[in-house]
Amino acid sequence: ETGVTQSPTHLIKTRGQQVTLRCSSQSGHNTVSWYQQALGQGPQFIFQYYREEENGRGNFPPRFSGLQFPNYSSELNVNALELDDSALYLCASSLDRGGLTDTQYFGPGTRLTVL
Amino acid sequence: DQQVKQNSPSLSVQEGRISILNCDYTNSMFDYFLWYKKYPAEGPTFLISISSIKDKNEDGRFTVFLNKSAKHLSLHIVPSQPGDSAVYFCAASARSWGKLQFGAGTQVVVTP
């Protein structure tokens, strides 16, 4: 069984640029959630994708967007990067059983630094 | 709006003794609670969960207790081992929502 993978591991961008982070879900899972973890804090929910559609969103601006593909992998896109976007971005996959989400399993994360 | 709180940022415990981590929540809609463990430079690793229909769940050295009336849960690790040194996050959700709300984490250090 393959776990959740994310790429790249680390990324450095400058303010105003755009970034795309990628996630491959665990085999058998159909739902992907993205979280942002700032230093010293717990992960904050960005959004969740199920059946290639956004299925819930946290308190993040529209410049945070995502995609889910037919193979259940996902991308997180952030436009117009700001210094405060520097964080660890975590992807989690899970199995949605008729509207009830099972345990979420996390990938290793992508460390984004915005200069 | 911090709906899940871990009020102890750190905990130091001797090897072989019990580690008790605490978590409080405010939203009565939460019906599923999880504990994750995180090492530096890694993603959170799922440890154990509990549904709101139970008050205790046990898995090896890990036991989670849920007190719904107090909106409080705790994680017991017995016996504590050096490899348990990590940050532990409490998380809660309503399973129909899907999103997890996390606490700020507790840094556990197990000393020899």
Strand pairing class (A110-114; A10-13)? parallel
Look at residue A102 and tell me whether its pLDDT is greater than 80: no
> By CA distance, what is B48's nearest residue in A?
A103
CA distance linking residue A47 with residue A78, whole number of Å: 13
How many angstroms separate the CA of residue B14 from the nearest CA in chain A? 24
B2-36 residue pLDDT tens: 899 999 999 999 999 999 999 999 999 999 999 99
Cβ distance A84 to A100 under 8 Å? no
Cβ distance B90 to B35 under 8 Å? yes
Cβ distance B99 to A45 under 8 Å? yes
Cβ distance A82 to A15 under 8 Å? yes
- B45/A106 touch (CB, cutoff 8 Å), yes or no: yes
Minimum-distance CB partner of A105 among B46, B95, B101 = B46
Question: Could you give the 3-state DSSP secondary structure of residue A85?
Answer: helix
Q: Which residue has the tokens 């929540």?
A: B25
Res. A1 pLDDT band, cuts 50 70 90: low
A41-69 residue pLDDT tens: 999 999 999 989 998 899 999 999 999 99
Strand pairing class (A10-13; B32-38)? unpaired
Q: From residue A112, give the alpha-carbon distance in Å to each of A42, A73, B37, B103.
A: 16, 20, 21, 22
CA distance linking residue A87 with residue A69, whole number of Å: 25
Res. B94 pLDDT band, cuts 50 70 90: confident
Q: Residues of A at the B interface (Cβ-Cβ below 8 Å)?
A: 4, 6, 31, 33, 35, 40-45, 48, 50, 55-56, 58, 90, 92, 94, 96, 99-101, 103-109
